[in-house]
Amino acid sequence: MRLIRAGFIGEFDPDNFDEVVVRYLLVFYVLVVMVVLLNVLIAIVSDSYDISMAKAEALYYRSRLELITETAPIASRLPKWMLPTNDEESITESITEALDDLKKDKADDPNRLNYTINAIEAIVDHSERRTGHRIDAVETELARIAATQQQILALLSRVPANADAQGTGLIENRGS
């Protein structure tokens, strides 16, 4: 018992805490400090885990690239029938599978990194919708301008080519 007490609160003289209330306050203080320090430890480990998970994919692709660059001279000497072939369809299929797995993993894992990713996706989606509304407004305005232009062209087509010679004064003679 003495060893456990020394491990938790250090070496001290229990005679200094002769009142029962003071001893209970000491025990309460020690428990609160332990809980707070454990929370700090969990936060540090969690942040380290988030950082390592954020770097994991980049490290994977970097090591894969290093492996490819190391084996490229060997692969160039292999016959063509031994080389892997990837057509556009297989690449699209593997990318789609990877994205689906990523979305499923994000929904299952509630850590802060994925929360940040989801928040950024929500912001991007909102921006895309807002931009879409603006594009719709511009397209509506362009359609209105095109209709007005068609009306003007229709009115101009009704005006005879020799309207100025007939004295209507639509075309001014600026040369003289």
Question: Mean pLDDT throughout 7-24?
Answer: 74
Q: Please give the sequence-ordered ranges of beta strands (E in DSSP) within 22-141, or none if there are none.
A: none
Between residues 58 and 144, the one the model is more confident about: 144
What number of CA atoms fall less than 13 Å from residue 164's CA on the CB side? Answer: 6
pLDDT band at 176 (very low <50, low <70, confident <90, very high): very low
**pTM score, two decimals?**
0.35
Continuous segment of H or E residues that includes residue 101 = helix 88-108
Question: Mean pLDDT throughout 147-170?
Answer: 74
Cα angle for residues 148, 150, 151 (degrees, 5° grid): 65
Question: Is pLDDT of 5 > 70?
Answer: no
Between residues 14 and 170, the one the model is more confident about: 14
Question: Is pLDDT of 144 > 90?
Answer: yes
Each residue's pLDDT tens digit, 76-117: 777 777 776 766 777 777 777 777 777 766 555 556 566 667
Both tokens assigned to 132: 């879409």
Q: Compute the distance between CA of residue 48 and CA of residue 40 in angstroms, rounded to an integer.
A: 12
Residue 62, phi then psi, degrees to nearest 5: -65, -45
C-alpha distances in Å from residue 77, one per residue of 65, 68, 80, 84, 90: 19, 14, 9, 13, 25
Q: Please, what is the average pLDDT of the chain?
A: 76
User: What amino acid occupies position 78?
Assistant: L
For the chain, the farthest-separated pair of C-alpha atoms sits apart, in whole angstroms, at: 123
* Percentage of the chain lying above the pLDDT 70 cut: 73
Return left, alpha or beta for 169; rule: phi > 0 is left, psi -120 to 50 is alpha, else beta: left
Q: Residue 119's closest CA among 111, 135, 58?
A: 111
